[in-house]
A and B are shown apart, each in its own frame.
Chain A
Amino acid sequence: MFQRIRSLVVKELLATLRDKKARIALIVPPILQLFVFAFAGTQEVTNISLAVFNPDAGRASAELVQRLEASGNFSHIRFVRSTGEMQAAIDRQQVVAGVRFQDDFSARLLGGQSAPVQLILDGRKSNAAQIVQGYVQSVVEQFGRERAAEGRVRLADAAIEPRNWFNPNLIYLWFTVPSLVAMITTLTALNVTSMSVAREREMGTFDQLLVSPLRPLEILAGKALPAFGLALAQATIFLVVAVLVFRIPFRGSPPLLYGALIVFIAAMVGVGLFISSLSATQQQALLGTFTFMVPAMLLSGYASPIENMPAWLQPLTYLNPLRYMMVVVKGVYLKALPAAEVLHQVWPMALIAAATVALATWQFRRRSA
């Protein structure tokens, strides 16, 4: 039995890695994706342009504008001469936000009145807008506080000491790169398994396997193991790139991460096998992979945190292996997540792996005779 599986695995690997082109196609695009998407997949807000309309000739408004400029959050400040111009700049997406003073801003402050400042944000980009709002707010608050101090009004204050653990400078790459390790590995594991059976069906070699002494489970194992090996190898390359090229410190235990990775890839390979046992043609397999892949990515907590989803939708994410792996890969990599916590995420994946492999075998038996 092991010999038969071994022959299958050798065949599969030879077929996948036979020529140079195939090997390149397996290695280069994922690495490219890792680099492009690591930088592209960012929610970070930098390089923001801000419009300022300041009809006030006083000192206070000029100082506040200067502070905004000096804060380093805004790469470009665009001075406009009318409300209309500001509006146009926002409409055309030349700036994300506009700050509008009134002409009596400085006068009001001097007179001890409160002085309104309007902050207009482009709601088409609600995420960026919210963050910009935070930046502006903190600059304005600081400004207010210091003016108050100048006015010798003593304030009993709570001084916030902000800290960001695991990623003190909030470098976005530290988030995207480990997440991409899980995502791109998923893509490989699914792609290699889901298409392989359909391709053999289309080529007619599948009948050849079915009339041989191979049992359905052996055929499945022969399909699963190479995909498994390739996905694991790819994950390893990505981790090495993450540490050596992106210089993201690996804090947890590698064996723990690999243990979880193995279970995770098993679950993904199980899903791939199930898709392939359902599809008669490569086109169906491709569309099937796609139909699973997109929701899996969206419901993984990568694009947006799971707790932001509506309560009735959250239970659905429990069926998604990627959801657990996202926690583990970032947890072990960045936070040195303890083993007990990892285990907590691993057992659902093991369950999913067992269920999908069983389903694939059953479906496969049903269709192969």
Chain B
Amino acid sequence: MKAPSPAPSRAGAFSPRRLGALIRKESIQIVRDPSSILIALILPVVLLFLFGYAVSLDSTRLRLGVVLEERTVDSESLLAALRDSKYFLVTPGASRREAEADLTAGRTRGLVVVPVNFSRYLLSGGTEGAPLQVIADGSEPNTANFVQNYVRAAVGGWQQARLLERGILVPPARVDLQPRMWFNPSLESKNFLVPGSIAIVMTLIGTLLTALVVAREWERGTMEALMATPVSIQELVLGKLVPYFTLGMGSMLFCTLVATLVFGVPLRGSVVALALVTAVFLVSALGLGLLLSTLAKSQFMAGQVALVIGFLPAFQLSGFIFEISAMPRWIQAITFLFPARWFVQSLQTLFLAGDVPAVLWRDGAILVGFAVLFVFLTSRVTRKKL
């Protein structure tokens, strides 16, 4: 027998051809597998759609019960003022009991009670003021806050109008607060939820999908066959990274187009910066997915773990819905450990504020750190042994 096929494919040395073959194989599998298409194209649309429309943190139109225990010109005009507010959908209640039942049942979020003698107090002009009860449903604290704030603003407006009407001038020396909402003047929550949800989609592609596909190779025994070939560890790892990286970048492009064209989210930063930050994040997410599936080796385990340490934190601990600064310190400390947190922050900045070097350099550097760590760990635990 003649000597073995001469050694372009010798031990461990990196071979672009073998890498190419692995990438080609993986790409065909991606295209053929409906679940990867589901995760890469359909799920992003569903998620963007839900975050664009379903989750809206802008409390417009809160249901507010109003009970007038006395019917006077003043109480009626207050009711009218509340009705005119763009924040409320007013349900006039016949009696206090009924209105309270509505509040308990959750049919209204708040309740304003104008008591008997309200007008008399107003006329008397006493310093203690006319009592006006505002009851909010504390079982949803956030909404309760909005109710209290908006009622206060509406009543303030009503008072001013009333004073002007009666020729009593507003005290001249007043502080005139001029709020300016930067980056998002119309205060639409979709403008920051949509970029945040892109981070979720990227986590799914990077971590969940990769975790499943590598575990599948173990379960089906193809990993064993690959290991018995001259493939090196770097080729194995890169052969998985490159196709899913491409899929992720493609999905990112798609998400960005949907976000800007369909949902009208502005993109104020540069495309280059967006691409770079996404690339770095994707490598870290992919690295985590590979690491998990190399350790778990079964689809069931890999899937469960990827959900618990990949997806749920990206959802809850990334600051995309829930404000990180409001969490207790120990949870804030935990959020530092998840790449999604840094990615969400960069995305919100890139889409709404623009290229802010201070934010992007810091977050980018941290993401690079994660990426290096995960890829390094993966190539450490991936051994060509069973």
Contact = CB atoms under 8 A, between A and B. Distances in A.
Contact of B136 (A64, A128, A164, A199): A164
25 contacts: A36-B317, A39-B328, A40-B335, A42-B323, A43-B142, A49-B325, A91-B359, A110-B173, A115-B173, A117-B178, A123-B184, A123-B192, A124-B349, A126-B181, A154-B127, A155-B125, A161-B134, A163-B133, A172-B142, A175-B142, A295-B50, A298-B51, A309-B56, A331-B104, A334-B139
Interface string A271-293: 00000000000111011001100
B165 interface: no
A113 B141 contact: no
A150 to B, nearest CB: 10
Nearest to B311: A290
Interface in B45-76: 46-47, 50-51, 53-63
B215 to A, nearest CB: 9
A137 B155 CA distance: 13
Pick from B133, B146, B175, B191 the residue with the most CB of A within 10 Å. B175
A148 B358 CA distance: 44
Contacts of A124: 183-184, 192, 348-349, 352-353
Contacts of A108: 173
Interface in B70-94: 78, 89
Contact of A287 (B39, B174, B182): B39
Interface string B107-142: 001000000001000111101111111111111111
Nearest to B122: A156
Given A120-B180, A148-B171, 15 more contacts: A40-B317, A40-B335, A41-B322, A109-B175, A110-B173, A112-B172, A114-B176, A117-B175, A123-B192, A126-B189, A154-B125, A170-B144, A195-B300, A295-B46, A307-B61
B55 A303 contact: yes
Contacts of A49: 325
B138 A174 contact: yes
Interface string A24-50: 000001000100110111111111110
A298 B189 CA distance: 14
B63 A335 contact: no
A84 interface: no
A294 B46 CA distance: 10
B327 interface: yes
B260 interface: no
B141 A119 contact: no
B271 interface: no
A160 B286 CA distance: 54
A87 to B, nearest CB: 9
Contact of B316 (A40, A46, A160, A294): A40
A64 B128 CA distance: 23
A307 B192 CA distance: 20
Nearest to B135: A163
Interface residues of A, number: 112
A85 to B, nearest CB: 12
A287 B50 contact: no
B191 A126 contact: yes
Interface stretch (A138-146, A207-215, A351-359): A138-146
B212 interface: yes
Contact of B139 (A113, A141, A175): A175
B326 A126 contact: no
Given A40-B316, A170-B144, A119 B353 contact: no
Contacts of A298: 50-51, 54-55
Nearest to A342: B105
Interface in A152-184: 153-172, 174-175
B369 interface: no
B252 interface: no
B43 interface: yes
A115 B173 CA distance: 7
B63 A136 contact: no
Interface of A: 29, 33, 36-37, 39-49, 64, 88, 90-93, 96, 108-131, 133-134, 136-138, 140-141, 143-144, 147-149, 151, 153-172, 174-175, 195, 199, 282-284, 286-287, 290-291, 294-295, 298-299, 303-305, 307-310, 313, 327, 330-331, 334-338, 341, 344
A199 B124 CA distance: 76
B312 interface: yes
B22 to A, nearest CB: 21
Given A174-B141, A283-B303, A327-B106, A109 B173 contact: yes
Contacts of B323: 42-45, 125, 127-128
A141 B59 CA distance: 22
A238 to B, nearest CB: 17
Nearest to B142: A43
A43 B141 contact: yes
A167 B352 contact: no
Contacts of B177: 117, 119, 136-137, 140
Contacts of A157: 127, 129-130, 159
A44 B141 contact: yes
A158 B175 contact: no
A133 B130 contact: no
B95 interface: no
A242 B242 CA distance: 46
Nearest to B308: A29
Contacts of A159: 128-132
B38 interface: yes
B145 A126 contact: no
Contacts of B61: 307-308
B138 A168 contact: yes
A204 B277 CA distance: 46
Interface string B187-211: 1110110000000000000000000
Given A36-B316, A88-B358, A126-B188, A160 B172 contact: no
Contacts of A195: 300
Contacts of A291: 38, 43, 46
B276 interface: no
A157 B131 CA distance: 9
A341 B359 CA distance: 49
Contacts of A337: 104-105
